[in-house]
Structure formats: C-alpha cells, structure tokens
Structure 1
Amino acid sequence: MDQLSAMRVFVRVVETGNFTRAATALDMPKTTVTNMVQGLEAHLSTTLLNRTTRRVMVTTDGALYYERALQILSEIDELDGSMSHSQAGPSGRLRVEMAGAFADLIVIPNLCDFYMSYPRIQLDIGVGDRLVDYIAENVDCALRGGTPTDQSLVARKVGELKMRTFASPLYLERHGAPTHPNDLTEGHLAVGYLNAAAGRVLSMEFCRGDEVIEISPRYAISVNDARSYVNAIISGIGVGQAASFMVKDAVARGELVEILPDWECEVLPLYIVYPQTRHLSNKVRVFVDWLAKRVQALKEPEQGKARWEAAE
C-alpha cells in the first residue's frame, strides 16, 4: 500500500464528506478511493470512517488521524514546493474562482504575462459571484470584492477599487440627475447588487468631508453578477455604483455618465481567500503576488470628462 497516497485520499474523503465527491475531486474511480481507505484502515488496525447509505462520518480515531495527516501532508507539500520553486518553478493545476468582471478585465487580458513567468502552472478559472464549497469543489483560492466574513477562510488583501456612481443618459433623460444622495430615495430607481455571502442587496454609501450617508434606494432589479450589474445600469433601468475600470469603455462610448461627482463612494477592497485547511502552496502564492500587481496597476480614468450635463 502507498501510505502517502492513501493518506491524501482519506483526507479528501473527510473534507468532501463522501467517497463520490472525493473521487471526482481526485479524478479517480470511486472503487479505487474506497479500496485505498479500506487498505489504510487495515494497515492501522482501526476504523477511520463509519459509512451509511447517505453519508460518511469520521470516527474518533479518524478525526485524530485526519488532523495529524493534514499537518504531515502540508509539510510535505511545503518541502516539495520549496524545491520546485528553487529549480523548475511552481507547477500544477490552480483552480481559482472570481467574478466575471475581474476575469474579463483584470486577469484574462494579462494571462500571457503570467504564463510567460510561470509556464508550468495550468489555470482553471471559475467565473461567477456564487458561494463556493472550496473543499468539495477542489478550489485553491478565490478573488472576492468586499471584506470577507467567513471565519473559515484565510484572506489576503490584494488591493482596493475606487467606486463611483453612474447612470445612463436614457435614465437621466427620464428621471433627471440627482444633486444629492438623498435624492435617490425619492423618484429614482437603482440597480441592486445581491451579495451571495450576505444574502441581501448591498446599500449605497456616500461621503463628502465628514458627512457620510448610507442609503438603500428602491431597486428595479437586483443581480449577483458584476457584468450583469453594469449592463443593467447601461440599459437605463436604474443608477448604480461600480469601479471605474469596469465601466471605462461604456463611459468612453457615452453609454454611462458619472453622477454625484462631489460625493465619494465606499472603497471596495479586493481579497484572495482560501480555506484554512489548505496549505498556501507556491503556485497560489505566486498567483496572489502577480494578481496584486495587476490590481495596483489599474489606472483611474481622468475626472470630469463623462459627467451629466442637462440639455438647455
């Protein structure tokens, strides 16, 4: 029996909760996964898992073995990673989740630069703002906007995005341009952003000097995807707040204009998050460092060129 491989299989079964998901994550036949765990139990002369038709439960011995195995595997991965980093460089598949706007506007346009530096890393990018089961789906890390609230995740801040308030010319022709944030609570509509982690539509925050205003205007539609959010603002159905890099092309085409320019919006922090049980391997570390540089390189568009001026 290859005890190290069996140990890795056992850890994945515990983390995913059953043999089927573990087999999928490991890209192995389910029978192989089952046989390897049974072989490990025979070698240790103890029962690590109690099986039922619906789920797998860890025994007391299994829980103790899992904790020690996780520590040992992390140390082995760190050792292997340090050797590969010093010689051939980081390698392997890297599964990353991020919102579509981040993928389209930050990561994918610069991927050739990343691949030239790290040709042995194969990126699998999942696009969307959904909740992710990092262990069951074998996700290494995710790029997320906003401060993480999940205490089971480790978070590293990679940058900040300045937010501004925008509307389409069509919307402004129909509803007029607000002159104060409080105007948005009467006679105006917003596009709501539905935060999957919070389970609610996010409010809008404005500040000018020491004055801070937080409002929740009536929204005509809410979405949980950044690209759909911007497209809804362009359609003229409501106003919204977005990072400037996300709307710069729409602004250049005249599809969006900035409103309430004297009021600053809340800064959106960007974080790379990964589960505490996952070792931060060299391939993840170099991707995080590279991504932080890409975020910091984002340039703000020149101010004052795309603000609404009502026709006389």
Structure 2
Amino acid sequence: MSQADAGLSTDEEPLKNIFDDAMKLFDSIENGNEPTNSDPVQMSIKVAITKFEKATNLVSMSGMFSKNESLDELPTETLQYLLLPALLGTLSLKLSNQPRINLINVAEIYFKDYLQRCKDYGVTDIEVPQPATAPAQNTDRPQSEQAKITNLVQTRDAKIKRYKEMKELKQKLGSLTEAMQATSDEEIKREYFTTLLQSYVNQALDELNSIEQEKPILEYMAKHAGEPKPKERARAPPLKPVIITRDAVQKAVFGAGYPAIPAMTVEEFYDQRVRDGIFPASATNIPHTTIETAENDGDEAERIRKECLVEQDDPEERARQQNMDEYKDDHRRGWGNRYNRS
C-alpha cells in the first residue's frame, strides 16, 4: 500500500509529530525514578494517553491497516503505529485515583486488540487469550491431580520461555538502537520496529495474565465494600505505676514528691487488690509489717524499733545517733584493720 493510498499525504507529518512527542513522554515515564502516583508523573501519563489516542484516531481515519495485508506490505514508517494499543494499555495501568477495575478493563481491551493485530500481520502466532469460562456444572468429575500438575508445568514452561525471549529481544533492541544511531539503513530500522513489536507481544501476555489474577481480588473487594468491619476488642486500660509505702508518713512524703503517681500504704494496696478480686479477702493474709510480725527476724525487728524511736523523737536515740556521727568523723573506715594497711 502506498502512502497516498493510506491517506497520509496530508496527515503524515502531524501524525508523526504527535506520536514522537507521546513516545518521549512514554520513555520518560518508563525510565524515570519518580513515583508513578506522584502528581507530575500522573500528569505526564494523562498527556501521553491523550496524544496516543489522537494518533490512534488519525490512524483509523487514514485506513492505514487492513487484515488483508501482511507485515511485509506495510511501509517501515507505519510499523511503529501498530504499537499504539500496547502503549495505551501500559499507560492505563499506571493511572491512579480512578477505580482500578475500570482501568484494568480498559487495559485488557487494548492488549487483546494489540495481540490480535500482531497475529493478523504475522508478527506472532499465539492465540489471543479469551475470558475464563465459568466452571462446568458437573462436579462429579473433578480435575485430576495429574491434569493440575500438567497445567502448572505448561504455565511455568511458557513463562520461562517468554522470559528468555524477552531477555533476548531486549539485547537485540539495544544492538539495533546503536546501529540506527550510526546509520540510516532502512533494513536496520525495519528490523528494529519488528523486534519492538515482538517484545511488546510478550509484555502484553504478561499484563493480561496479571489482570486475570487481579480481577477476582477487585471483584471480592467491591462485593464486600459495604460490609461493616469486625469490631476491635476493647483495649485494657494501661497500667499505672504505684509507689507502695510502709505507713502514712512515707505516703505523705512520696505523694508530695510525685503528685502524678499514686502512693499508698501496704494496707491500702492490699485492700485495693482485694476490691479488684486479685488478692484473697482473708484478714490473716494482709502483709502488715510491724514489730510483732517481725519478731522472728531480729535484724528486721531492731530496724523497725529504731525507726519508731526516730519518728517519736526519742532523746536517747537522738543522742546515740549524734555520738555515732561524731565517731565516724574522727575514725575513718578501716583504721582499726591492720590487714588493710599498705
């Protein structure tokens, strides 16, 4: 088909400019480091989609492609326009702030249209994937384990084969890109576009596979979107520190120094635990510490006795402590120990 027959005598230059500008945006989006959901990238995606859609309309109005032709009959410059559905599908999946189910449905249409065009022109011989059919009503003959394993192996082998092909095509595209920069040979340019079409065939298959896996998830989320979420268990109140004192005097001292922390005597602490049902209510278990309960422990009894004398401001105890302080001032620790001498 000649360019005149394709209707490109007047629209070829505008179409090329629009497509080239869109491809520059597409490459910057694919190779950029900025997050895809950022405002600048989203704006670039929308502009690129608009340009590719405009190019698609121009291609359709020109009647550039026909099922009655082969790839060899197409002019080299028109080969790149076969990529339009694949490019639009790729960009559609990158959009955000829109219902995801709508985006993947649009992308699915683009990718299938691209694969069908490539099959019509002999770029590939793969069968265009069709929507998964509903499960058979007869459940008396479930799929055997051997059939399941066979399907898994075939899927895995297909993925491995496609991965190797994509790797080889990527290397080939790199070499052809360098060759195109060094020469304007028509054959090299045509081989580059053909290789690019084959590369996007594999990408389209991968994207369609991902879409098929994502659809059930989105449908499930949409189905249960209005359901109330399960109530969270009420959290127990956080524990608060408690300073336990021996008597009311210490309670007043600690309470004055730490007004934000509750202070209570041992008796009050025990009574509180009894009210909370943590400690038994038996009076015999109340851990009151007095001289009577400490009589079996001589050191403890003596310590409590001295504390009581201090609290009562006993003159003899006060004189004894004063003499002890004076003795410590005049006699350093260890003076009477001959074995500690240097």
TM-score by length of 1: 0.23
TM-score by length of 2: 0.21
Q: Which has the higher helix share?
A: 2
